[in-house]
Amino acid sequence: MSIGNNIKQLRQQKNITQEEVAKKLGVSSQAVSKWENNANTPDIMLLPVIADLFNVPIDALFSDSIEIYSDIQSFLKNDDVFRVVQMRGSKIVKVSSTFSPDEPPIEIAFPHDCNDRTQYFKVEVYGHIISDGSINGDVVCHQSIQSGTINGDVKCEGNIKVNEINCQKVICNNITECYHLQAGTIECRGDIHSATLTCDHISDKKANSES
C-alpha cells in the first residue's frame, strides 16, 4: 500500500477532513489531496509531523498493513494508564468470557507486596486478570478478575474473585468471592458475596446477595 493510501485511511479513521490535515501540517489542502491520490508524496521533513498527527510510528506510513496500526491506535490514550492487550500475529485477540486455545486468559505478575503509594499505578487489561499478589491502584478489566488484594477503584465487565478490596467505587457483574470489601459505592449487576462488607451506597444489588 502506498503512503498516500495510508494517509487517507488514517485521516478517515481519525474522522478529519483534508483541510484539517492541511491546516495542522501547514500545507495546502490541494497538497493533501495529491498525496491521497498518489499524484505526489509528502516532503521527507513532514513525515515525523504526519506520523505524530495520526499517533503512529513513521514506518507505519509505508506499511502494507496499516490496519495493524489502526487497531492499536484505538487503545492509545494520553494518560498514565498501563494497558495490556493480547495479539496473535498481527491481529488483536478479542475479549471473551470463556477460555480457549484461541482466547487464553492474560496472567499478569504485579509487584509483590504492593502496599505503598510509591508503587501505585493504574492498569487496564483487555482480557482476564489472574494474579496471586496485590494490586495497589485503579483497575479496569474487560473480563474477570482473580487476585489477592486490590487497593484502588475497580471496574470489571466480568466477575470478581479477590481476597480484599479497599476503594471508593466498584463497578462489576458479580462479586463471586471477597472476604473483606470496603467501598464508598458498589454498582453490581448481579450478586455480592462478601464475609465483611462496608459500603455507603449499593445499587443494582439482587435481593439474594450475601453481605
Residue 26: exposure state from Cβ atoms within 10 A (0-12, 13-18, ≥19): exposed
Report the alpha-carbon distance of residue 32 to residue 19 in Å, rounded: 8
Under a CB-based contact definition with an 8 Å cutoff, are residues 122 and 137 in contact? yes
What the chain holds in terms of domains, given with CATH numbers, is 3-73 (1.10.260.40), 81-203 (no CATH)
pLDDT in tens, 164-184: 999 999 999 999 999 999 999
Looking at per-residue confidence, does 160 or 9 come out higher?
A: 160
DSSP output for 50-103? HHHHTT--GGGGG-S-HHHHHHHHTT--SSSEEEEE-EETTEEPPP-SS--SSS
Under a CB-based contact definition with an 8 Å cutoff, are residues 188 and 204 in contact? yes
**pTM to 2 decimal places:** 0.64
Report the alpha-carbon distance of residue 124 to residue 142 in Å, rounded: 8
pLDDT in tens, 73-93: 666 677 788 888 877 776 677
> 20: Cβ–Cβ under 8 A, 6 or more apart, which residues?
none
CA-based nearest residue to 123, from 106, 137, 134, 109: 137
* Average pLDDT score over residue span 16-23: 94
Supply 191's cell numbers: 450478586
